DNA sequence: CTGAAAGCGCTTACAG
DNA sequence: CTGAAAGCGCTTACAG
């Protein structure tokens, strides 16, 4: 493969001149440019990005690490939407996305640091904030550009993140159900170790309290984002009889689908007897029967915003003030929810 | 950030010794190793992967390029399953996956070459073979490691690829329908410009011919992998009246879902009056009503195989003989297909 | 506008 | 087992 020296020799100029022609920044005479370009063409020359990266200390790459060990991670719309947003924002800025795998939740942080400290990427977007590992603290200590998708723990005020308005949106959904006459509303959260789960639960509590309703602890369950988790939640709550919920809010659509299935298996009509609302507006939401009412979370937009902010940070010479962006969710009303039975 | 020289100075050794300790290949005395490691720890040293890559001419990265411009690309299970397979195979071999975006189908090839020729990755897996661009020819000419997911055009015999047995599997599905008494069977392909579409169509033709059935051209349509495409196919075929198909085979589940919806809108009972079979076993296949019979294509396994083969090629010093792997598909029978109406 | 030189941070034959 | 040197292929201040 031809190098900059080969081109220089062929064009009869100094290698630095070839470099200048390709970087496009310095003024080079029209004539020299022509000579260099035709020599480059003749030799099939393309600058070596690795050598360039070493020299300028910039890779034009942002990273993300993905717990590939969890099959279910690839069933949800979360992952593809995140990738879509990252790519759509990175592409026009001439950035690529480096994806690292990870073996476990704890390994996510190991891999993140390996990529960052070995300079394989200029910065990272961290897409899964868990409460059991202090990713943020470690990242801050490292002094490398990063942006979070999802809020950090409260004591990290000066960190850049983008999130959906989880607490408020969840509260709105619950309030919506309350307006439809529901009083006994179930909260089926995802993984309690994930920060967003807590935010949603607070939204739920706030809405209930705001309406002067008290909730019973048996209306709260965690389904770990799996369809089976939703199914089990229903089976645990149905025995409450007259105290069983008339509406379920689930933190993703997969769990909502499990809830629908459990209800169907128990001959409970949706939405006539019980309402169900999911989250994410995944592909299956429109395909289940009845079509799922769901809280649409703009993951692709969030990822695109995160990538844009990250690249801004990378390109800036000085540290940038932290920015926090909160994107709104939208309730998509379909046919799985409605007024409480008379 | 500390470099190898800092560590060397601190440990009182030559930089090359530090390098040897970290590469782990050369024999270094226990004592020296200790000194180097503790110096490294004290300084928070981690080798710069970019510098290493430049020196050894290897990045430990494989690439894939994704047409991020098509929103629908991220709705199908194809993309996440491919990523899952790549990551699961790459991770244990200590490889990362570089994802490049692309603006259009033609741009896929531009981006592919940019990544490869600028040495940002050691090789590439090409996941979308189109007939309108000679990706393979260009790749062969380049002499860079690559493996295809999907067969190349017939005249490239000595190229490494992995594919599902599309023609045979489609033929089997159609034969299965024939055994159930169907005689008028529709073929709803994806994008005619994609190689797999032709393979599936040949399987369809073969099965029909093998059973002594002739097919009518009006039973053949292309839905471009979109739900609306499936819907329209039904609307085009229903006016055939007594000649309308009693069974539909669709090249992905999204189109099959569109077919189901069109049939429902026309009050045609599935599977009592008409059968439909999709492809891919996507998430929605289990959630539609009736649950979709579908041809499961092992995309994650194909991608994992491709990644493994690619890394083998990269790691081998000499060019490896090309290998072709064909993975089997599985018909998942659910409730959208059955015997033809009496 | 162009050249010569030093440097980015590693690796690895070559000596000893 | 360890050191000194050259090299991977660029970029960029410094001169002129």
B222, pLDDT greater than 90: yes
Q: Render pLDDT for B154-198 as a digit per residue (tens, 0 to 9).
A: 778 889 999 999 999 999 999 999 999 999 999 999 999 888 899
At residue A83 the predicted structure's pLDDT band, cuts being 50, 70 and 90, is: very high
Locate all alpha helices (DSSP H) within chain A, ordered by sequence: 4-11, 15-23, 30-43, 49-56, 78-90, 105-117, 135-142, 166-179, 195-210, 227-237, 253-265, 299-315
Task: Give the tens place of pLDDT for each residue, B22-43.
Answer: 887 767 788 888 888 988 999 8
Residue written as token pair 């910065």: A123
Q: Which residues pair with B220 in a beta bridge?
A: B187
Helix (H, G, I), strand (E, B) or coil at A317: coil
Q: Cβ neighbours of residue A37 under 8 Å, at least 6 residues apart?
A: A21
pLDDT number for residue B331: 97
Our measurement of CA B318 to C1' C7, in angstroms, reads 34
Residue A194: CA atoms inside 13 Å, Cβ hemisphere, count?
A: 17
Q: In the predicted model, is pLDDT for residue A129 greater than 70?
A: no
If one compares B32 and B247, the residue with the highest pLDDT of the two is B247
pLDDT at A203 over 80: yes
Four-point Cα dihedral B273, B276, B282, B288, nearest 10: -10
pLDDT in tens, A22-70: 887 767 788 888 888 888 898 888 899 999 999 999 999 999 999 888 8
CB of A225 closer than 8 Å to CB of A72: yes
Whole-number Å distance between alpha carbons of A298 and A328: 8
Q: What is the pLDDT of residues A8-27, one digit of tens each?
A: 988 889 999 999 998 877 67
C11 nearest neighbour residue (CA to C1'): B55
The more confidently predicted of residues B142 and B166 is B166
CB A190 within 8 A of CB A252: yes
* Structure token pair of residue B310: 């690619």
Sheet with B220-222: strands ordered across? B220-222, B185-189, B247-250, B275-279, B293-296, B330-332
Tell me the per-residue pLDDT of A155-173, one tens digit each, with 9 for 90 and over.
Answer: 788 899 999 999 999 999 9
Average pLDDT over residues A130-155: 82
Per-residue confidence (pLDDT) for residue A306, from 0 to 100: 97
Is B153 or A131 the better-scoring residue by pLDDT?
B153
pLDDT in tens, B192-219: 988 889 999 999 999 999 999 988 899 9
Q: Which residues of A touch B81 (CB under 8 A)?
A: 74
In B57-94, alpha helices (H): 78-90
Chain B residue numbers with beta carbons less than 8 Å from the beta carbon of A288 are 287-289
- Under a CB-based contact definition with an 8 Å cutoff, are residues A11 and A39 in contact? yes
* Cis peptide leading into residue A75 (ω within 30°): no
Residue B131, pLDDT score? 63
pTM, two decimal places: 0.89
What does strand D contact on the protein, if contact means CB under 7 A? A 1, 3-5, 15-16, 19-20, 22-23, 25, 45, 47-48, 51-52, 54-56; B 12-17, 20, 26-29, 31-32, 51, 54-55, 57
- Judging contacts by C-beta atoms under 8 Å, the chain B residues touching residue A79 are 80, 83
Residues 43-102, chain B: which have Cβ under 7 A from strand C?
45, 47-48, 51-52, 54-56
B80–A75 CB contact, under 8 Å: yes
For residue A30, the model assigns a pLDDT of 84
A32 touches strand C (CB under 7 A): yes
Residue B132: pLDDT band (50, 70, 90) is low
User: Residue A154 pLDDT more than 80?
Assistant: no
Residue from B53, B228, B299 to probe the interface with A (highest A Cβ count within 10 Å) = B53
Query: CB–CB of A123/A339 below 8 Å?
Result: no
pLDDT for the residue numbered A107: 87
Rounded distance, CA B117 to CA B120, Å? Answer: 8
Q: How far is B58 from chain A (nearest CA, A)?
A: 10
């Amino acid at each position: 493969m031809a190098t900059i020296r080969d081109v220089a020799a062929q064009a009869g100029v100094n290698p630095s001149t070839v470099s200048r022609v390709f970087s496009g920044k310095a003024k080079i005479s029209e004539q020299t440019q022509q000579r260099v370009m035709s020599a480059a063409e003749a030799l099939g020359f393309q600058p070596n990005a690795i050598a360039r990266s070493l020299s300028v200390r910039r890779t034009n790459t942002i990273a993300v690490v993905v717990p590939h060990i969890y099959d279910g991670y690839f069933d949800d719309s979360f992952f593809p939407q995140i990738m879509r947003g990252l790519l759509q924002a990175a592409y026009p800025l001439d950035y690529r996305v480096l994806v690292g795998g990870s073996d476990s939740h704890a390994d996510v942080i190991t891999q993140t640091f390996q990529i960052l400290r070995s300079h394989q990427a200029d910065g990272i977007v961290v897409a899964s904030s868990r409460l059991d590992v202090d990713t943020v603290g470690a990242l801050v200590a490292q002094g490398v550009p990063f942006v979070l998708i999802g809020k950090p723990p409260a004591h990290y005020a000066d960190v850049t993140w983008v999130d959906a308005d989880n607490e408020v949106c969840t509260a709105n959904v619950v309030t919506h159900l309350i307006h439809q006459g529901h009083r006994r509303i179930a909260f089926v959260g995802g993984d309690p170790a994930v920060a967003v789960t807590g935010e949603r639960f607070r939204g739920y509590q706030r809405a209930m309290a705001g309406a002067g309703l008290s909730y019973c602890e048996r209306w709260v369950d965690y389904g770990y984002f799996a369809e089976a988790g939703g199914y089990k939640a229903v089976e645990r709550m149905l025995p409450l009889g007259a105290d069983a919920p008339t509406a379920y809010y689930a933190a993703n659509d997969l769990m909502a689908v499990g809830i629908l299935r459990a209800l169907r298996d128990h001959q409970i009509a949706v939405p006539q007897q019980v309402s169900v609302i999911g989250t994410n507006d995944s592909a299956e939401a429109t395909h289940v029967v009845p079509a799922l009412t769901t809280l649409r979370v703009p993951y692709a937009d969030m990822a695109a915003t995160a990538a844009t902010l990250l690249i801004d940070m990378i390109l800036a010479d000085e540290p940038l003030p932290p920015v926090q962006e909160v994107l709104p969710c939208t309730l998509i009303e379909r046919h799985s929810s409605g007024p409480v039975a008379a």
